[in-house]
Amino acid sequence: MDVPDDPRIAIDGGTRVLVVTGAGISAESGLATFRGAGGLWEGQRVEDVATPEGFATDPGLVWRFYSARRAAALAAQPNPAHLALAAVEGRLEDRFLLVTQNVDGLHRRAGSRRLIEIHGSLFRTRCSRCDLPPFADESLHESGAPGCERCAARGRRADLRPDIVWFGELLDSDHLRRVEAFAEEGPGERLVFVAVGTSGNVWPVAGFVDLAAAVGGETWLVNLEPAHNDWRFDRIVRGAAGEVLPVLLGVVG
Ligand code: BV8
Q: What is the pLDDT of residues 109-143, one digit of tens each?
A: 999 999 999 999 999 999 999 999 999 999 999 99
Count Cβ atoms below 10 Å from residue 177 Cβ, excluding itself.
Answer: 10
Give the 3-state secondary structure of 28-90. Answer: HHCCCCCCCCCCCECCECHHHHCCHHHHHHCHHHHHHHHHHHHHHHHHCCCCHHHHHHHHHHH
What confidence score (pLDDT) does residue 35 get? 74
Give the distance (Å) from ligand 1 centre to CA of residue 149. 32
Q: Ligand 1 — pocket residues by CB below 6 A?
A: 22-24, 27-28, 33-36, 50, 101-103, 119, 164-171, 197-199, 201-204, 223-225, 227, 240-241
What confidence score (pLDDT) does residue 42 get? 65
What confidence score (pLDDT) does residue 47 get? 87
Give the distance (Å) from ligand 1 centre to CA of residue 33. 11
Between helix 80-92 and helix 241-248 the angle, nearest 10°, is: 20
Q: How confident is the model at residue 40 (pLDDT cuts 50, 70, 90)?
A: low
Please check whether the two domains, 1-31+78-119+170-253 and 33-75+124-164, share a CATH topology: no
Mean pLDDT for 56-83 is: 96
DSSP 159: B
- As a whole-number percent, the residues of the chain with pLDDT over 70 amount to 95
What confidence score (pLDDT) does residue 34 get? 81
Atom of ligand 1 nearest to the CA of 41: 60
* CB distance 16 to 230 below 8 Å: no
Mean pLDDT for 152-179 is: 97
What confidence score (pLDDT) does residue 187 get? 81
Q: Which of 28, 34, 49 to mutate to test the pocket of ligand 1 (most atoms within 8 A of CB)?
A: 34
Please tell me the distance from the alpha carbon of residue 186 to that of residue 182, in angstroms, as a whole number: 8
Q: How confident is the model at residue 37 (pLDDT cuts 50, 70, 90)?
A: low
Q: Which of 164, 172, 203, 238 to mutate to test the pocket of ligand 1 (most atoms within 8 A of CB)?
A: 203
Average model confidence (pLDDT) across the chain:
93
* CB distance 96 to 88 below 8 Å: yes
- Whether pLDDT at 45 is above 90: no
Give the distance (Å) from ligand 1 centre to CA of residue 22. 8
Domain ranges in the chain are 1-31+78-119+170-253, 33-75+124-164
Atom of ligand 1 nearest to the CA of 199: 67
Q: Which residues contact 247 (CB under 8 A, 6 or more apart)?
A: 6, 7, 8, 253
Atom of ligand 1 nearest to the CA of 22: 56
Q: pLDDT: is 93 or 253 the higher one?
A: 93
What confidence score (pLDDT) does residue 6 get? 63
* Superfamily, domain 1-31+78-119+170-253: TPP-binding domain (3.40.50.1220)
Count Cβ atoms below 10 Å from residue 187 Cβ, excluding itself.
Answer: 6
Give the distance (Å) from ligand 1 centre to CA of residue 223. 15
What confidence score (pLDDT) does residue 46 get? 86
Catalytic residue among 82, 107, 119, 141: 119
Count Cβ atoms below 10 Å from residue 216 Cβ, excluding itself.
Answer: 8
What confidence score (pLDDT) does residue 69 get? 93
Q: Which residues contact 80 (CB under 8 A, 6 or more apart)?
A: 28, 242, 243, 245, 246
Atom of ligand 1 nearest to the CA of 66: 43
Q: What is the pLDDT of residues 231-241, one digit of tens each?
A: 999 999 999 99
* 119 a catalytic residue: yes
What confidence score (pLDDT) does residue 43 get? 77
The CATH class of 33-75+124-164 is: alpha beta
Mean pLDDT for 169-183 is: 98
What confidence score (pLDDT) does residue 252 get? 80
What confidence score (pLDDT) does residue 1 get? 45
- Whether pLDDT at 179 is above 90: yes
* CB distance 230 to 55 below 8 Å: no
